[in-house]
Amino acid sequence: MSDDGMLVRVTVQDTWDTVELKLPPTASVAELKLRALVMMHVANDPGGYEVKYRGASLRDETVSLESAQVVDNAALIVLPVRRRPVK
């Protein structure tokens, strides 16, 4: 991890695109989620989405990335909390 931040890769399920974000380790999970949704032009309420890291939901979005044990160059996914029906 460098002094000026950590690089994380975030996939947003609504678009299936990945965005790279450089954030300080003190940034919250909620900040990461909001920035990823904005960069992917998702206009839905951020409260309807969750962040998963290593398959586990990061439910407390007030914690820092460092506290959530997210490492530099980690891959995370932002996806809707409710599953969507398959058509």
Residue 3 in this model has a pLDDT that exceeds 70: no
Residue 1 in this model has a pLDDT that exceeds 80: no
Fold of the domain spanning 6-80: Ubiquitin-like (UB roll) (3.10.20)
pTM of the model: 0.87
Hey, where are the domains in the chain?
6-80
Rounded to an integer, what distance in angstroms lies between the CA atom of residue 24 and that of residue 47?
22
Mean pLDDT across 11-15: 94
Band (pLDDT 50/70/90 cuts) for residue 4 is confident
- The pLDDT tens digits of the residues spanning 18-76 come to 999 999 999 999 999 999 999 999 999 999 999 999 999 999 999 999 999 999 999 99
